[in-house]
Each structure stands twice: as C-alpha cells, then as structure tokens.
Amino acid sequence: MEPTLTWLDLTASDRDKMRRVLDLFKEQGTVDEMGLGSLRDILSDALFPGTSYIQTRLRYVLFIPWMYRRLESRKIHSADVARQARKAETDLIGSLAHGQDAEGVIGVRARDSLARLPSSVYWSALVRWGIFRHRQSQGWYHTNFTRLADGHNAAGRPDDPGVVWTRQPNWHLRLPDPPASFPQEASFALTPDEADFLRGRLEEQCKGTLLAWLARKGSDAPAKCFWDDPDAGRASGKVRDTVELARRFSLHVQGIPLLYNLLLAERRHADHGGDGELIDRYRAELAEWAASEAGEDVYEPHVLWDFVACCGGRVPGPQHRFVEAWSRRITETSPDTVADDERLRRLVEDREYRLKGARARLVNPNRLLDWNGRAGVVRMDFRWIRVRQLLIDLHRGLAA
C-alpha cells in the first residue's frame, strides 16, 4: 500500500518536513528493516551533502531557479505561486521528454498528476549548495514570495560598479542565465559555464567532503562503488577517512539483512513449504559475506560513534546496543557458523520485534506472507547510485 500522511493546519515548513519523510518510503536503497537508516544517512550527508536517492540529473538545480526567476519577474502573488510553479514544472516534463537524453526525467509517466515535483526533490541541494540564498524551506519561499519578488529588481549583478547591497538576493548572484529557448526546449546537457558555476558551489559550500573533491578531481567515468574510485583514493586524509568509515560500516552490517532474510525464508518454509532455494541462496550469500568480513580488521564501533558525535548526531541507545552486540558476536564466531549462530539469530529476531512489535514478519504470519523474498539486502551505497550520475553530468559539462 502506498504510504500516506494526513495533516491539518500545518505550517509550510511542517509540510516540507512531512514530504521529506514520505520520500524515504520511495527512495531506492532506503529499506531499513533493522533500524540502521539514521547511521546510513549521517554518513551519506557527510560524503554527499544536499543529495538524495530521488535526485536524478544535475541540471535540475538550474531549471528550478530559472523557473522561479521567471515567476518573480512576473510579480506572481504568494497565493498563486505554488500553482504557477507547478504548471511550469509539469510543462518542463514535456520539453525534457522530447530531448535526445530523456533518462532521469522526473514525472515522465505521471505528467500533470505528478505528486512530488522536482523543486521539492532538489530544494535541499539548492539550499545546501548556496544557490537559494535564504537558506529556508520551499514553503517559506512560497509564503514570502510577494515580498521577495518585490525586492528582486534591486539586486543587480555582482560585478556592477558601485553597488551597495541592502537586500539579500533570492538566488546566487552568479547563477547562469537560461538558454533563450528555455523552457520550450530543455535538455540535461550542462554548458561549460553552467558546470563551472555548479562546481564552484560544491567546492565552496561542501568543502572537505567527497562530493566537493570529486567535483574538482573526479571524471565522467566514476567507479561503480565510490570506495573503489581511484580519484576518491587520492582525496585528502579526512575525506579518505570518511570514505573508509562508510565502506567498512557498509560491509560490516551487510550480514544483518542477509541473516534476517534467511530467518524469513526458513520460517515461511516451515509454515508453508517451498522457499528451499531461497534458504540455500541466503546461506551461500551469508557465507560469502562472512568470509569477506573475516578478511578485514576487527570492526570497532566506537569509531563510528565518535564520528556521529562530531557531526552533531546522536545514536539512540537501542541502536547503539544492537550494533555493539552484532560486532562483538561476529568477532567471537567463525565465518562458517554465522548462519546458524543462535545468539546472532536471537539478536536479529529481537531487533525486528523491538522495531515493529506485532507487525514483525518473524512473529506475524500475515506479514510473513507479504515478504517478497528479498527485504533490504542491497548493500548501503550512501546515495552513490544517484551522486555518480550527478558527477557524470557535471564533468561532461566541463568537458563540453
């Protein structure tokens, strides 16, 4: 069933937060059966700030301000800006869909019925990368649109001689102008000037992150996993440390969903028969994972806890104890016994029940029947599948 939330009398900022929550249900790679998503997201933000799994192509961060600047110039009233912006965004779908490269067009099937507009998908990037200068939510911008648009013409250009700034501009002063044919014609291909502008935003606003490093030193052919990317391997020590922290955590906890799915396959086989092949598959995958894990140095969770604290985050007690218990037991058992280790099995069963209660698949026969055979087993990639495409777009634009 499609997840929904209902709200009454919420502020624009509240609505923006609720939409971000709903996005988590739609994002690839965010299935969080064992409650580790907050740790994944802290590492993702440290590596690739402003990104998300539902972003597709980089030029959207220019399309959106271009459309809003057109609305500002037309003096659209705050009460009508959401409707006018929606029309502009849905009209853009057709322009992009008719281009030579239509991969990643948001809403290409939904069109006018699109529920999640590109502007809300990319708003975090616009704010984090300093393109929208007010550092506020999209709802705040809409609410204050009339006032902000009235001050728009006072901004001028950053290189105007003798300009004394009395207002903060809505958009970055060096934001490139759109092509003359926009929005009737649009493509995802960045011009060199546009790519250079975006690289500058990433280097300035995301300094000390892998995203900023790869914006400057990366290429248009990044590796399938960022920890295998040779350009990432040449980053500064702090960035490399974060890359290694993410890689090691990703591998260490990959065994948890594999064991969880093995338990589900066994339980359903016991209750309903079948699924023997699934049991064999998960035993084989667990054995492969355990061998890889055994080839690494012993995992030290305190390194991650210290990192989370430095990022201003907090590790909830149950999550802390779960990871610590998993790490401790993995060091005590051999790779060929992981699948049958009773303490690891109880640990995973207890974790699911604490998170889901009576809705846990391992205790609820109806929920077990809903299991599709593979729940949350994709290894954490920290949004790389999306960031990789953004970087490809950037470096192709720089080389154009």
pLDDT tens, 123-166? 999 999 999 999 999 999 999 999 998 875 444 455 555 544 44
Residue 1 C-alpha from the chain's centroid:
22
Same-domain check for residues 284 and 177: no
Within a domain: 231: no
Q: Given a cut of 90, is residue 19 above it in pLDDT?
A: no
Q: How far apart, in whole angstroms, are the C-alpha atoms of residue 235 and residue 209?
A: 9
Short-list 174, 193, 218, CA closest to 47: 218
Same-domain check for residues 66 and 172: yes
Same-domain check for residues 177 and 71: yes
Q: How far apart, in whole angstroms, are the C-alpha atoms of residue 130 and residue 125?
A: 8
Same-domain check for residues 174 and 65: yes
Short-list 5, 52, 31, 6, CA closest to 384: 52
* Domain count of the fold of the chain: 2
- Exposed, middle or buried, 207 (CB in 10 Å: 0-12/13-18/19+)? exposed
H, E, C per residue of 189-210: CCCHHHHHHHHHHHHHHCCCCH
Q: Given a cut of 60, is residue 8 above it in pLDDT?
A: no
Question: Where in the sequence is the domain holding 364, given as residue range(s)?
Answer: 237-370
H, E, C per residue of 258-321: HHHHHHHHHHHHHHHCCCHHHHHHHHHHHHHHHHHHHCCCCCCHHHHHHHHHHCCCCCCHHHHH
Which residues, at least 6 apart from 277, have a Cβ–Cβ distance to it below 8 Å?
A: none
pLDDT for the residue numbered 276: 87
Within a domain: 174: yes
More confident residue, 262 or 13: 262
- Exposed, middle or buried, 129 (CB in 10 Å: 0-12/13-18/19+)? buried
pLDDT tens, 347-387? 999 999 999 999 999 999 999 999 999 999 999 999 999 99
More confident residue, 23 or 103: 103
Q: By mean pLDDT, which of 139-143, 157-161, 228-232, 244-248 is the weakest? A: 157-161
Within a domain: 394: no
Q: Given a cut of 80, is residue 319 above it in pLDDT?
A: yes
What is the average pLDDT value for the chain, to the nearest integer?
Answer: 90
What's the mean pLDDT in 294-321? Answer: 97
Same-domain check for residues 272 and 171: no
Residue in this structure with the two tokens 């069109």, named with its chain if needed: 111
Same-domain check for residues 287 and 181: no
pLDDT for the residue numbered 27: 44
Structure tokens at 138: 């999209």
Q: Given a cut of 50, is residue 55 above it in pLDDT?
A: yes
pLDDT tens, 256-289? 999 999 999 999 999 888 768 999 999 999 999 9
Residues counted in the chain: 400
Q: CA gyration radius for the chain?
A: 24
Within a domain: 215: no
More confident residue, 168 or 283: 283
Which residues, at least 6 apart from 261, have a Cβ–Cβ distance to it below 8 Å?
A: 278, 282, 373, 374, 375, 377
Q: Given a cut of 80, is residue 2 above it in pLDDT?
A: no
Same-domain check for residues 99 and 181: yes
Within a domain: 34: no
DSSP letter assigned to residue 379: P
Same-domain check for residues 81 and 184: yes
Q: Given a cut of 60, is residue 21 above it in pLDDT?
A: no
Residue 362's φ and ψ, nearest 5 degrees, are: -75, -10
Q: By mean pLDDT, which of 167-176, 187-196, 286-295 is the weakest? A: 167-176
Same-domain check for residues 244 and 305: yes
Amino acid symbol at 10: L
Q: Given a cut of 90, is residue 88 above it in pLDDT?
A: yes
Within a domain: 13: no
Q: Given a cut of 80, is residue 13 above it in pLDDT?
A: no
Short-list 324, 282, 277, 318, CA closest to 299: 324
Same-domain check for residues 282 and 170: no
Q: What percent of the chain stands above pLDDT 90?
A: 84
pLDDT for the residue numbered 99: 85
Cis peptide bond N-terminal to 183, omega within 30: yes
pLDDT for the residue numbered 161: 53
pLDDT for the residue numbered 152: 52
pLDDT for the residue numbered 159: 53
Q: How far apart, in whole angstroms, are the C-alpha atoms of residue 341 and residue 264?
A: 15
Structure tokens at 83: 């409707």
Within a domain: 226: no
Same-domain check for residues 250 and 350: yes
Short-list 96, 95, 94, 112, CA closest to 104: 96
Within a domain: 39: no
Short-list 5, 94, 36, 85, CA closest to 376: 36
**Cβ pair 53, 104 in contact under 8 A:** no
Same-domain check for residues 172 and 268: no
What's the mean pLDDT in 63-77? Answer: 96
pLDDT for the residue numbered 389: 98
pLDDT for the residue numbered 109: 93
Residue 56 C-alpha from the chain's centroid:
10
Residue 171: strand pairing partners: 132
Q: How many CB atoms lie within 10 A of CB 289?
A: 21
Residue 171's φ and ψ, nearest 5 degrees, are: -125, 155
What's the mean pLDDT in 166-192? Answer: 93
What's the mean pLDDT in 5-25? Answer: 46
